[in-house]
Structure 1
Amino acid sequence: MTKILISLLTLFSFSCLSAAEKPNILFIMVDDLGYRDLSAYGSADIETPHIDQLMKDGMRFTQFTANSCVCSPSRAAFLTGRNQDLVGVPGVVRTHDNNSWGYLDPKAITIANAFQQGNYRTSLIGKWHLGLKSPNRPNDRGFEIFHGFLGDMMDDYWEHTRHGNAYMYKNNDRIETKGTHATDLFTNWAIEEIKSAQQDQRPFFQFLSYNAPHDPIHPPEDYFQKFKKRYPNATDKRAKIAGLIEHLDYSIGRVLETLKKLKIKNNTLIVFTSDNGGKIKYGADNGELRADKTNMYEGGLRVCTSVTWPGKITAASVSDFKAMTMDFMPTLIDAAEIKYPGKMDGKSFLPELMSASQNEFKKRQQFYTWLQKYKKHALRIDQWKLVKNSAKDKYELFDMEKDPLEAKDLSKTFPEKFGEMRKIMNSYLKKADHVNWKRPSQQ
């Protein structure tokens, strides 16, 4: 794999920007955040002042979607700028072979590879969820520094294990971390790495990947009690996820304060997003959007997203531009003026960030998938959205401009459009079906 990466990366050409002029990149991804679980997005009870301020300082998106309604596929799309199925991640990567549905293509060039070749210091802090063994560990995929959780969900936010496995690592070494809340650990490590990066002449690209607010819903007790005190009639379920999110907000505030104290905030581009929508049964609130995580309706796909870059992106701007997770890679390497001639399915929305006047991607085919084993998929082209929400469900067609809540199936009303969308979707599924997604132990 190393020889393949070296030969591919030599195709890169470098930016005319000097290292001092290039922005630092802080990419914050949270896990399973409900679309209405930030006060910036209309929450009536959860208070998230630090994330709200971050969004006020930049551009907040109202139509941003994840590539998938579950974790691993969306993360693969972010890391590669590709449709997740085409890089071998059609489902959730898990510990056991009988229940794992993806193997990130070792030949795929990641955003970390691109930034590393662009003379950036690269780090991943927090959740990985794209492989447990080489060549699919973070240090194999372009991250010089990895300090975090190798697995998928945690069985306990203080124990940091999954199926009895201790998955906390520093680079390739397992570390003992029991007793501290995972959100605090990731925050401490993120701050530590940002401070260490100041001794490096290169700018940094940090992927700060939190497990929160993914289940199990384990907030620190004081955050749970503070919410219950404000809202004594709230259910424990709502109070728990609220406490987990408010603790997450406080933690992100600590990272942002570090940038300010180090006087590098003005030269740091910061992204905030979620890997998919929230899960209602755990107390998440997706507002009026239909359904939730694991579903191909908007409640599973629409994600709270913002981009902040002082002096470059107009503060307090709100955009309804339609972009998705795989668009981050082309956008961020554009912002850093790193030239990458390789294959990407994503498209840059940097002009929208810089001027709020980018034209929509007309006739763009946006595929949303969770193919193994659940066979869920959707396709969005302009205002039209085709949905198949399980292997047994019939296809549905929605006009998202007239029916943003996906209430009325128009498959019989517009049979030609329905047939056209089905044909495009089937062609993609056939292509995806030829990609080997099994890890070696499953072959």
Structure 2
Amino acid sequence: MKTINTYFLTLVLAFSTFLGFSQKQPNIVLLFADDISARELPIYGSTVWSPPTGGTTSDPKYKAVTPVLDKIAEEGCFVKTAWASTVCGPSRAMMMTGRYAHLHKWWHNKDKGKAPNGKGSWNLYDSSPHSIAHVAKAGGYATFWAGKTQMNIEGFPFDEGCFTPGEGSYNKAIHTTDFRLETRKIDGKKVIYNADTNKPIHKKSYVQSGWYWKPHVQLMNHPDAKEKFVWWPNDKKSKKTFGLDTFGPDVELEFTFDFIERKVKENKPFFVYHTSHLGHDAWDFLHPSTKGKWPGTPKINWDGKKYKRTTPKVTGDNGVYNDYGTITENGIHTHINYLDYQVWQYLNKFKELGIENNTIFIFCADNGTSGYGKSSPISQKGTHVPLIIYAPGMNLTKKGAQDALANMADLIPTIADLGGVEIPDSYEMNGESLIPFLTTDKPKHREWVYGYHKETTMIRGDLVMKDGNNVWYNVSTYPEDLINFPKIKDWSKVSEAHRKERDELKKVVPRFDQHATAHDAPKGGYGKVAPLVKK
């Protein structure tokens, strides 16, 4: 059985007892943002970031301002080199399973291995029965999933959820909102229409439901609902307030806080898996002719101590709207600023409920920024994401910037350690718990990090990196833009340590590089697996 970090568990037990908590493990909130490269956050020190139309800029007016994330990154810690996969689906598969594509078979958004019966793609909870939800439940946590799903969710045992957009809302007329792009057949050809304007769109986009303004929201197992899944708004109060000025990220946070409050009253530890859409580009239904990729958010202002949010006001219909100056300009920087505001709300909620010293907050993202790194196998453009860990009640031995390697697959083993769960040795888990690194004098977390993009693989150590195009780089120091590492064209011109690490990484890759040889699920799956055990 995998060894539980007894040092950490002893610490948590002693700490909880000191504060009068009867629960034996800390609460966990994992905020998994969407399509945000590490370079977009000021703490990573990049000299470039993304403008509203995508690409790269050094214009300070498009640089995010994140006083709260900066503060928790310094008081907690942040990992300088954290990797995901290059695009949403495979990255979420990595996060949800703690495994790489050679096991879960999600090689890319449109390249997924077939299920054992040869019909359809393999569900993650079937390929990997010890998922993030299963591990949290085994640890005794009440569980909540908020935001984006992008997968079949039926087999994940989350207790409750608030999904934006709700499951099944693509290309369907949900009664609560017409903010939707849908395909229609016109003269035998498929054409994408804006359901709000009832007109075809004239720029490149894809079928989608609105997850920002006037969003498609679905609740799962809400205590006031009679059915497992219900569309929101679903009562007189919510129906009265729902409208053009309803912002999806606000709705999901409101239901998340309701869940947290109930669990605190029940003296029940909770795990929140918050997969925000913020950071993801989308069709701007309030400004359908805009050239920007990221719809604006409610305006916020930081006065040095606290945030003030401007209440949005929007009127109009059929694609012609007035927001009266209550909504920001387009741009990913506004999304990151709003995430900072939401992190501030989280911290205030923890303090209000008296759980700030028994709650661990983790901030990360699923892949590189759209229009820059998303779906790119070049260098670490697609894989390099932020990772911040804030645990004020935990005796962290690591503070501030950590020149370490980490992977999104590491979160499940970390949650297992926090919940006192043993993952059987017979069950392959590609992630490694961060707890020993965070709480002891262990100098390194991982020897290498790995990523994947369709049939290509990426791997990086402390000194060298191979990207998806089989180009090798010297990564012993970070460039100012976090990406333009010097290419290694002559191995005789780097150190013996570089060459030695290259040889070690070459030995690792074949274990995972199975796109050509084991693309689909094996017949019969992986068979019976040993159960999780709660210590």
Q: TM-score of the superposition, structure 2-length normalised?
A: 0.63
Match of 2:137 among 105, 116, 131: 116
SS of equivalent residue, structure 2 residue 364: strand
- In the TM superposition, what is the alpha-carbon distance from 1:200 to its structure 2 partner? 2.6
Letter of the aligned partner of 2:352 in structure 1? K
Q: Which amino acid aligns with 2:36?
A: L
CA 1:110–1:360: 2 relative to 1, 3 Å:
closer
More divergent stretch after superposition (302-311 vs 244-253)? 244-253
Q: Does 1:263 align with 2:343?
A: no
Per the TM alignment, residue 276 of structure 1 is displaced from its structure 2 partner at its CA by 1.4
* 1:80/1:329 contact within 8 Å kept: yes
Q: What does residue range 7-406 of structure 1 map to in structure 2 within 5 Å?
A: 20-42=23-45, 44=60, 45-66=63-84, 68-92=85-109, 103-108=123-128, 109-131=130-152, 136-137=153-154, 140-149=155-164, 150=166, 161=180, 163=207, 168-171=217-220, 172-176=228-232, 179=243, 180-216=246-282, 217-220=294-297, 222=299, 240-279=331-370, 281=371, 292-296=373-377, 297-312=379-394, 313=396, 316-341=399-424, 342-355=427-440, 357-362=442-447, 364=448, 366-371=449-454, 375-389=455-469, 395-401=470-476, 405-406=483-484
Alpha-carbon deviations, 1:219-262, whole Å to 9, x = none?
13646999xxxxxxxxx998532222222221221122111100
CA contact (8 A) 1:73 1:91 kept: yes
Counterpart Cα distance in 2 of 1:22 and 1:397: 43
Q: Distance in 2 between matches of 1:152 and 1:398?
A: 43
TM superposition score normalised by structure 1:
0.75
Question: Residue type matched to 2:218 in 1?
Answer: Y
Distance 1:379 1:406 in 2: 16
Shift of 1:21: 2.8
SS at match of 1:327: helix
Structure 1 unaligned spans of 5+: 1-14, 227-235, 282-290, 390-394, 439-443
1:24-77 Cα deviation digits (max 9, x unpaired): 0111111112323233334754211222222233112111221x0111111111
C-alpha contact 1:223 1:243 (8 A) present in aligned 2: no
C-alpha root-mean-square deviation of aligned residues, in Å?
3.7
Contact persistence 2:373–2:382 (CA under 8 A): yes
Shift of 1:402: 5.2
CA contact (8 A) 2:475 2:485 kept: no
Q: Which amino acid aligns with 2:473?
A: F
Number of paired residues? Answer: 383
Aligned 8 A contact 1:127 1:209 in 2: yes
Distance 2:403 2:387 in 1: 11
- 1:301 and 1:28 map into 2 onto residues whose CA distance is 17
For 1:355, the aligned partner's letter is: T
Gaps of 5+ in 2: 1-8, 17-21, 47-59, 115-119, 172-176, 182-206, 211-215, 221-227, 234-241, 283-293, 302-308, 311-326, 493-498, 523-535
User: How far 1:88 moved relative to its partner?
Assistant: 2.5
Q: Deviations over 1:155-209 (max 9, x none)?
A: 9xx8675636686321241414563211111221211111121233320011111
Higher helix share: 1
- Residue 229 of structure 1 is matched in structure 2 by none
Q: 1:184 to 1:432 in 2, by over 3 A?
A: farther
